[in-house]
C-alpha cells in the first residue's frame, strides 16, 4: 500500500461511519467468451440488500470492456447495439489438463493492475466475490489472490455458481475466508455477524443496486427463481432447489426503474422457466411494458420452454419488443425426453414456431438449442434434430454436454469420462467435450456444428 492509499484510508475511516462492501465480478478464463448479457445480477441484488442495511457498496466488474487501462492495452472491443459483444482478451498458456483442446486459451477481462488498484482504493470492510461457470474458477482465484496481496486483512466471501456446485474445491483452492453455497445469500447473515458487521434484518430484495458499472449497455433481469422441471443434466435444482414464482407487474416496475435511472433499453432474462405461471408472470409483465409505450428490447439467452408458449404470449412478446427468441428444443427424439427430462413432445415445436410466425416473428428471430454428447446419445439423433430445425427455418445452436456436479447425471458422467472431471473443474469446460467416446467423437461434434451453421444459420451468424 503506498502513502496515498494510506492517506485515503485514514481519511475514509475518519469521515464515514458506513461499513463498506466491495462486490467483485471476476475475469473469465476460457477458450472462447462472448459477452451474451453476462451481468453481475446476483451480486447487485446482494448489493441492494446491503445498501438497504446501511452499507456503502461498490462494484468491481472485471468484464467491464470500457475500462480505460484495458482500452489502452488491448484496444477497443467490438460491441453490438443490443448490448452483447467482446470483452478484453489476452491469450495465455493452456493449463496442462486442457492441452488436448486444439484452441487458444485466454483470460478475458480488465488488466490485473486495474483490479489491484481498485481493490486497494476501496478500503472495504468485506469483499464479496461472485462466481460463474465451474471451469472459470481461475478468475475467482485471481481476484482473491489480488485481495490478499493488497488488502490482506479484509475478509473475502465467495458465492455463486462455482461456489455452490464445487463447494469443496472452492474451500480448498479459491483462497476465500468464507464460501457460501446455494441460493441468494442465505449464508451471508451468519458471516456478517461473525465479522461484527451490520446484519440485514430486511428480506432479500428482488431489485438490483443500480451501479452503472454492473450494467453498462444492458441489464439482466429475472422473473422467477428456479425451474419446475428436473432435467438430469441441468444444475437448476442444485442452484435453486425450490421453484419460486415472481410477479410480472413488479418486474416491469424494476425494468422502468433501471431504464429511467440508467437509460438502458436492452434487457436479458436470466430465467430458467420464464413462461411458467404466465397468468401472474410473463403476461402481466408484457402487458405493462406495452402499456408504457417504451421502446425496449428483451432477450432470452437461457432459452424458453416450448410447452408453455401460447398464441397469446407470442402476440404479447412481439408487441413488447422481444427479440432473438431461443428455445430449449434439445432433441427430436422422444426417447431423449423420457430419459433426460420430460418437457414437451416433439410435435409441440412446429406449433410453437407457427404461433410465433403468426405473431409476426421472422426467421432470424427464431432459434433452438440442441443438446449433443449426453451419455448414450448418438450423432445421428443430433443430426436429425438439426435437420428438423432447418425444415422449420429455425436457427440451431449446438450445446455440447458439459458435466455438472450435483446433477442427476453427474455420477454416470464421472464414470464414463476419460478426463478427471471429479477432481478438476477445468475439465467441465464444454470445449474439452468430456463425454467424447468412440461412438460420439470430437470430429462428430465439429461436423454437427458445421452442419447446424450451414443448414440453419449461414456463414455470417
Q: Which stretch binds ligand SF4 (CB under 6 A): 36-44, 54-62, 132-140, 226-234?
A: 226-234
Based on the shown chain and the rule CB under 6 A, indicate whether residue 231 belongs to the binding site for ligand SF4.
yes
Nearer to ligand SF4, 123 or 229 (CB): 229
Q: Is 225 in the site for ligand SF4 (CB under 6 A)?
A: no
Cell numbers for 421:
472431471
- Considering the rule CB under 6 A, would residue 240 count as an interface residue with ligand SF4? no
Q: Interface with ligand SF4 includes 404 (CB under 6 A)?
A: no
Which of 98-106, 111-119, 227-235, 408-416 is the region at the interface with ligand SF4 (rule: CB under 6 A)?
A: 227-235
**Nearer to ligand SF4 (CB atom), residue 27 or residue 328:** 328
For ligand SF4, which residue of 236, 385, 402, 429 counts as binding (CB under 6 A)? 236
Stretch that binds ligand SF4, among 35-43, 105-113, 199-207, 229-237 (CB under 6 A): 229-237
CA dist 6 and 10 (Å) reads: 6
From the CB of 460, what's the least distance to ligand SF4, in Å? 29
Are 70 and 86 spatial neighbours (Cβ–Cβ below 8 Å)? no
Region binding ligand SF4 by CB under 6 A among candidate stretches 60-68, 125-133, 231-239, 281-289: 231-239
The site string for ligand SF4 over 252-291 (x = CB under 6 A, - otherwise) reads: --------------------xx------------------
What is the grid cell recorded at 410? Answer: 453427474
Contact call for residues 56 and 20 (beta carbons, < 8 A): yes
* Helix then strand then coil, % of the chain, to nearest 5: 40, 15, 45
What distances in angstroms separate CA 386 from CA 118, 212, 370, one per listed residue?
A: 47, 40, 8
Q: By CB neighbour count within 10 A (0-12 exposed, 13-18 middle, 19+ buried), where does 293 fall?
A: exposed
Residue placing its CB nearer to ligand SF4 in the complex, 51 or 236: 236
# binding residues, ligand SF4 (CB under 6 A): 11
CB of 166 to ligand SF4, least distance (A): 18
| Residue 21 or 367 with smaller CB distance to ligand SF4 | 367
The total of other beta-carbon atoms located within 10 Å of residue 159's CB is: 27
CA distance 375 to 412: 8
189 makes contact with ligand SF4 (CB under 6 A): no
Site string for ligand SF4, 142-181 (x = CB under 6 A): ----------------------------------------
List, edge to edge, every strand of the sheet that includes 89-92: 28-30, 105-108, 89-92
For residue 432, give the C-alpha cell.
474439452
Rule CB under 6 A: choose which of 169, 343, 395, 428 binds ligand SF4. 343
State yes or no: residue 229 binds ligand SF4 (CB under 6 A): yes
Comparing CB distances to ligand SF4, the nearer of 67 and 271 is: 271
Rounded distance, CA 132 to CA 425, Å? 12
Q: Which of 301, 341, 350, 376 binds ligand SF4 (CB under 6 A)?
A: 341
* Residues counted in the chain: 461
Longest dimension (CA), the chain: 69
Look at residues 376, 399, 378, 233 and name the one whose alpha carbon lies nearest to residue 327: 399
Answer yes or no whether residue 227 interacts with ligand SF4 by CB under 6 A.
yes
Piece in contact with ligand SF4 (CB under 6 A), picked from 88-96, 228-236, 310-318, 348-356: 228-236
At residue 220, the 3 state secondary structure works out as strand
301 makes contact with ligand SF4 (CB under 6 A): no
248 or 328: CB nearest ligand SF4: 328
| 236/456 with CB nearer ligand SF4 | 236
CA 15 to chain centroid: 38
How far is residue 366 CA from its own chain's centroid?
A: 21
- The residue within the footprint of ligand SF4, chosen from 40, 70, 328, 403 (CB under 6 A), is 328
Rounded CA gap, 415 and 449, in Å? Answer: 26
Cα–Cα distance measured from residue 153 to residue 137, given in angstroms and rounded to the nearest whole number: 22
CB of 231 to ligand SF4, least distance (A): 3
Question: At which residue does the C-alpha cell 441468494 appear?
Answer: 184
Burial class of 188 by CB neighbour count within 10 A (0 to 12, 13 to 18, 19+): buried
Q: Which residues bind ligand SF4 (CB under 6 A)?
A: 227, 229-231, 234, 236, 272-273, 328, 341, 343
Amino acid at each position: 500500500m503506498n502513502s496515498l492509499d494510506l492517506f485515503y484510508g485514514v481519511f475514509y475511516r475518519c469521515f464515514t461511519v458506513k461499513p463498506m462492501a466491495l462486490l467483485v465480478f471476476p475475469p473469465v478464463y476460457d477458450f472462447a467468451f462472448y459477452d451474451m448479457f453476462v451481468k453481475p445480477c446476483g451480486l447487485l441484488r446482494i448489493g441492494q440488500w446491503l445498501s438497504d442495511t446501511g452499507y456503502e457498496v461498490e462494484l468491481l466488474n472485471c468484464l467491464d470492456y470500457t475500462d480505460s487501462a484495458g482500452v489502452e492495452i488491448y484496444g477497443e472491443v467490438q460491441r453490438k447495439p443490443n448490448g452483447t459483444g467482446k470483452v478484453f482478451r489476452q491469450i495465455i498458456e493452456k493449463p496442462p489438463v486442457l492441452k488436448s483442446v486444439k484452441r487458444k486459451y485466454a483470460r478475458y477481462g480488465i488488466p490485473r493492475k486495474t483490479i489491484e488498484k481498485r481493490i486497494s482504493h476501496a478500503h472495504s470492510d468485506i469483499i464479496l466475490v461472485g462466481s460463474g461457470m465451474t471451469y472459470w474458477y481461475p478468475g475467482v482465484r485471481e481476484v482473491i489472490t489480488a485481495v490478499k496481496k493488497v488488502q490482506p486483512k479484509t475478509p473475502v466471501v465467495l458465492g455463486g455458481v462455482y461456489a455452490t456446485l464445487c463447494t469443496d474445491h472452492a474451500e480448498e483452492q479459491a483462497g476465500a475466508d468464507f464460501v457460501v453455497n446455494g441460493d441468494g445469500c442465505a449464508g451471508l447473515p451468519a458471516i456478517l455477524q461473525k465479522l461484527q458487521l451490520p446484519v440485514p434484518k430486511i428480506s432479500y430484495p428482488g431489485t438490483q443496486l443500480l451501479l452503472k458499472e454492473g450494467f453498462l449497455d444492458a441489464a439482466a433481469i429475472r422473473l422467477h427463481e428456479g425451474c419446475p422441471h428436473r432435467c438430469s443434466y441441468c444444475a437448476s435444482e442444485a442452484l435453486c432447489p425450490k421453484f419460486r414464482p415472481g410477479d410480472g407487474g413488479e418486474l416491469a416496475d424494476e425494468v422502468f426503474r433501471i431504464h429511467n435511472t440508467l437509460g438502458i433499453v436492452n434487457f436479458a432474462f436470466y430465467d430458467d422457466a420464464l413462461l411458467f405461471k404466465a397468468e401472474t408472470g410473463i403476461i402481466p409483465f408484457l402487458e405493462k411494458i406495452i402499456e408504457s409505450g417504451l421502446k425496449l428490447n428483451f432477450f432470452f439467452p437461457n432459452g424458453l420452454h416450448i410447452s408453455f408458449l401460447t398464441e397469446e404470449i407470442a402476440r404479447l412478446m412481439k408487441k413488447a419488443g422481444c427479440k432473438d427468441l431461443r428455445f430449449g428444443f434439445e432433441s427430436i427424439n422422444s426417447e431423449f425426453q423420457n430419459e433426460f427430462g420430460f418437457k414437451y413432445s416433439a410435435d409441440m415445436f412446429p406449433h410453437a414456431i407457427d404461433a410465433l410466425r403468426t405473431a409476426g416473428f421472422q426467421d432470424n428471430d427464431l432459434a433452438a438449442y440442441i443438446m449433443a454428447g449426453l451419455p448414450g446419445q448418438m450423432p445421428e439423433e443430433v443430426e436429425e434434430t438439426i435437420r428438423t430445425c432447418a425444415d422449420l427455418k429455425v436457427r440451431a445452436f449446438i450445446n455440447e454436454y458439459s458435466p455438472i456436479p450435483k446433477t442427476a447425471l453427474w455420477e454416470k458422467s464421472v464414470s464414463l469420462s476419460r478426463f478427471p472431471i471429479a477432481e478438476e473443474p477445468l475439465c467441465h469446460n464444454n470445449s474439452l467435450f468430456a463425454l467424447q467416446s468412440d461412438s460420439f467423437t470430437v470430429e462428430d461434434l465439429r461436423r454437427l456444428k458445421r452442419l447446424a451453421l450451414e443448414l440453419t444459420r449461414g456463414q455470417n451468424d
